[in-house]
Amino acid sequence: METAIRPTWLEVDLAALVHNHQVARQAAGPDCAVYPVVKADAYGLGAVEVALALAADGAQGFCVALVEEARELREAGIRQPVLLMGGFGPGQETDVADLDLIPLLFRSEDVERLARHRRRDATPQPVFLKVDTGMGRLGCSSEKGLGLVRALDAAGGFELRGVATHLACADEPHRPETRWQQERFAAFLSHPQWRGRSLVRSMANSAGLLAHPETRMQLARPGIMLYGVSPFHPGEHPSAQALRPVVTWRTRVVQIRHMAPGSSVGYGGAFRVARPSRIGILPVGYADGYSRRLGGRGAVLVAGGRAPVVGRVSMDLTAVDLTAFPQVGSGDEVILLGGKGPDALPVEQLADWMDTIPYEVLCGIGKRVPRLYLPSPA
Ligand SMILES: *Cc1c(COP(=O)(O)O)cnc(C)c1O
């Protein structure tokens, strides 16, 4: 017998995901591979289900941040190449080969550690070099990069497949930094040391892929666009309009409270009722990733419109004012995120209320919120 789930769940529309993958493939064109980024449990949506759906749609490879994330994909039967973007921790050197990963290397220590743990009979370990062209985060400088390539050659047993860099400002299409990064990348790759090597160059995230055609190169690494969210900020870019929303976060009213003027709702009595009110209690809270910042700021979607979140969001419960929606009763469904129509709540809207970006909203949806996949696998 199937166990019933709690009445708060996240719906993930796999058909919309696949549609967005096709948008990415089309933007990339025939000469650029698309490796969907499924780090952080596919931005909270569920890495295994997302990767299996994309693999079935012909995904050419995947990108993850951690060895642990790669292992999850391998255990689920994903056979495609996996780029390990975030490096590997001490003791994880043998996992890189055992899980058949392609690590991005950015320091000489990476080369030494991998070389030290290599098996004698192993096939060459494929690697990418990760160079910093202006992101100012993970990566090596151009000078160090050339040294790393010499170290790889000297160590033997490595196959340098490509060079990757990451864009810092592509989500703001008018900024000049994206072009400066391309120029630095091109200058780095024009060094005589590269002569005679055929390398895969990789630069584009979602924003690069959609808005900066020159950054597509041979391998793009889109994440957020696959999950139905525009990467652009602030404002919009027409290229994002083809994306379909993927997630809907739903819950059900567990109780209706009739409150008299002067009574208060929740911790600290932060909301005081001014008129006779119908307050709906929802079984979701900040432990589920429904942020405390939404208290007094956010709203949920009910039949008929947006009902404001009142008082403080607590760990497991949230109150909404349903006075204007007498038709909504106990047991009725409420949308926390997503939905259709003029009152819909896109991820961007919640991010705005939470003073953050859509990425953090999605990644923050708690593990105890069950994920429901549509269409469900046959
Ligand atoms: C997360 C990440 C991406 C994907 O970025 P999106 O903005 O979600 O498309 C690509 N490359 C690297 C190195 C990343 O860390």
Residues with CB under 6 A from ligand 1: 37, 39, 85, 166, 205-206, 221-224, 231
What per-residue confidence (pLDDT) applies to 1? 58
Please give the pLDDT value at position 119.
Answer: 84
Q: How far is the CA of 286 from the centre of ligand 1 (A)?
A: 26
CA-CA distances (angstroms) from residue 99 to 102, 103, 126, 175, 203?
9, 11, 12, 39, 24
pLDDT confidence tier of residue 378, bands split at 50, 70 and 90: very low
Edge-first strand listing for the sheet containing 33-34? 33-34, 219-220, 200-202, 158-164, 125-130, 101-105, 82-84, 62-64
Burial class (CB in 10 A: 0-12, 13-18, 19+), 114: buried
Q: What is the 3-state secondary structure (H, E, C) of the chain?
A: CCCCCCCEEEEEEHHHHHHHHHHHHHHHCCCCEECCECHHHHHCCCHHHHHHHHHHCCCCCEEECCHHHHHHHHHCCCCCCEEECCCCCCCCHHHHHHCCEEEEECCHHHHHHHHHCCCCCCCCEEEEEEECCCCCCCCECHHHHHHHHHHHHHHCCEEEEEEECCCCCCCCCCCCHHHHHHHHHHHHHCCHHHCCCCCEEECCCHHHHHHCHHHCCCEECCCHHHHCCCCCCCCCCHHHHHCCCCEEEEEECCEEEEECCCCEECHHHCEECCCCEEEEEECCCHHHCCCHHHCCCCEEEECCEEEEEECCCCCCCEEEECCCCCCCCCCCEEEEEECCCCCCECHHHHHHHCCCCHHHHHHHCCCCCCEEEECCCC
pLDDT in tens, 184-198: 999 999 999 899 899
- Alpha carbon distance 173, 27 (integer Å): 16
Mean pLDDT of 287-305: 97
Give the position, in ligand 1's atom list, of the atom nearest the Cα of 205: 9
Choosing from 39, 63, 137, 169 the residue with most ligand 1 atoms within 8 A of its CB, the one to mutate for a pocket test is: 63
Distance 224 CA to ligand 1 centre (A): 8
Note whether 262 and 233 are within 8 A (CB): no
Region 46-70 average pLDDT: 98
pLDDT of residue 121: 81
With cut-offs at 50, 70 and 90, classify the pLDDT of residue 376.
low
83 CA distance to ligand 1 middle (Å): 12
User: What is the model's pLDDT at position 69?
Assistant: 98
For the stretch 7-33, pLDDT in tens is 999 999 999 999 999 999 999 999 999
- Please state the atom number of ligand 1 nearest to the C-alpha of residue 222: 9
- pLDDT at site 237: 87
Q: Which residue has its alpha carbon closest to ligand 1 atom 3?
A: 205
| Each residue's pLDDT tens digit, 104-158 | 999 999 999 999 998 888 899 999 999 999 999 999 998 899 999 999 999 999 9
CB-based contacts of 91, cutoff 8 Å, min separation 6: none
pLDDT in tens, 243-274: 999 999 999 999 999 999 999 999 999 999 99
User: Who's near 65: CB < 8 A, 6+ residues apart?
Assistant: 39, 40, 84, 85, 86
Could you tell me the end-to-end alpha-carbon distance of the chain, in angstroms, rounded to an integer? 18
Is 70 exceeded by the pLDDT of residue 87?
A: yes
pLDDT average, residue stretch 265-293: 97
Q: Which residues are catalytic?
A: 39, 267
For 220-248, the pLDDT digits (tens) are 999 999 999 999 976 678 889 999 999 99
Strands 101-105, 82-84: pairing kind: parallel
Which atom of ligand 1 is closest in space to residue 39's alpha carbon?
A: 1
Q: Which of 120, 127, 139 is nearest to 101 (CA)?
A: 127
Say yes or no to pLDDT of 313 above 60.
yes
Which atom of ligand 1 sits closest to the CA of residue 138?
Answer: 13
Flag whether the pTM goes above 0.85.
yes
Distance 354 CA to ligand 1 centre (A): 22
The pLDDT assigned to 2 comes to 67
CA of 233 relative to ligand 1 center, distance in Å: 15
Instruction: For residue 42, give both structure tokens.
Output: 């596919």
